[in-house]
Amino acid sequence: MKSCISKIRKLINKPILKSLLSEDHRNWNLMCGSLDTLESAQLAIDSYSCLNKDNIKDIGKHLIIYGLFQALYVQQDSVLNLCKSMGTTLPKGEDIKNKYPELYEIRQLRNKGIGHPTPNERDKTKNTHSMLIDNDSIELFSYTETGEFSFAKYKISERIEKQNQSLCEILQKVIDKMASIEKKHKDKYKQNKLRECFPDDSQYCIGKIFEAINLIDDQGQRETASQRIGRKDGISLALSNTKNLIEAIEKFDGEIKKRGLQGDDVVFVRLEIEYSKYPLEKLKKYFSSESKSSINSQDARAYADSAREHILDLIKHAENLDGEYMSTA
């Protein structure tokens, strides 16, 4: 069981799969809540398994067994809800009885011996049950309203092992479904490298922006025709590189949206996109209308510094995501 829980936690924390699954907030919350409850119930079950069964009668045997069967019951419900969150085949009611009789038996033991040992409004048969605990075994006595009597004895550790096997079988379907969703998405997009949205040498583009700012800052009235032409060419090149970087960021943003990626990691990437575009848009205006610009060279350098920092961060995100898409682990 611990191995299955660990595999699921590892899967849903993988950036791409987490992003895809968290798009449906309702199912994502159900999945996370079910997994947490499943793990907590397993801790309770493991606590029983570690006990010296000969000493159970001396340390509150009824409290222990009542808690154990409630944990087994809750664990089953957690697995079924985890299946529901992933849209896998969900055995319930009579389906559990037919497909997983060992799980149904545990549910019945819990209901009869602990949950509803005396008749209640939902118990149409009006049966009464009592339970005798003997170390690692329980004996269940049942009486019908017509006076019929039945008796059965169960070894608790065997029921725990059977439930563990059945639930692991069900959870493997969840694991396979998760892995299939991730693989299908990766196969669709892994050949389209996000890093290729950006120029091979983005540092060169940014360097030309800084050079143009210096040219504007150093402009003098006595510059030669050659210097004037060089300055205009430098500014024109900086404007072209600024536009190219904006287009690269927009292309990257489009790829992220196309892939339907969601989640906190992607929210952070989208913030980086905005933080990158804003200073570049300011620089585009600066280079487009140099004489009428409302910002000075110091402002322009600050914008260029900011753009460089956030663009390099975006490129790292792109490379990391490309690595995730190529990974088979």
Q: What do you get for the CA distance between the two ends of the chain, in Å?
A: 21
CB 200 within 8 A of CB 241: no
Task: Provide the pairing of β-strand 128-134 with 149-155.
Answer: unpaired
Phi, psi of 230 (to 5 degrees): -65, -40
Pairwise CA distance, residues 102 & 160, whole Å: 10
Supply the DSSP string of 194-227, one letter for each residue.
Answer: GGGGS-TTHHHHHHHHHHHHHHHHT--TT--HHH
Alpha carbon distance 87, 85 (integer Å): 6
* Rounded-to-10 torsion of CA 28, 29, 31, 37: 160
Listed residue (240, 210, 237, 232) closest to 301, CA to CA: 210
What is the model's pLDDT at position 143?
85
- pLDDT tens string, the chain, 329 residues long: the values are 999 999 999 999 988 899 899 888 999 999 999 999 999 999 999 998 888 777 666 668 888 889 999 999 999 999 999 999 998 876 665 577 788 899 989 998 888 888 878 777 666 667 888 888 888 888 888 888 877 888 889 999 999 999 999 999 999 999 999 999 999 999 999 999 999 999 999 999 999 999 999 888 776 556 667 777 777 899 999 999 999 999 999 999 999 999 988 777 778 888 999 999 999 999 999 998 755 567 888 999 999 999 999 999 999 999 999 999 998 87
Instruction: Give the integer Cα–Cα distance in Å for 29 and 182.
Output: 19
DSSP 56-68: GGGS-HHHHHHHH
Write down the pTM of the prediction.
0.78
Instruction: Name the residue with tokens 């944990």.
Output: 71
Exposed/middle/buried for residue 88 (C-beta within 10 Å: 0-12, 13-18, 19+): middle
Rounded to an integer, what distance in angstroms lies between the CA atom of residue 222 and that of residue 212?
Answer: 18
Buried b / exposed e along 148-179 (16+ C-beta atoms within 10 A): eeeeeebebeebbebbbebbbebbeebbebbe
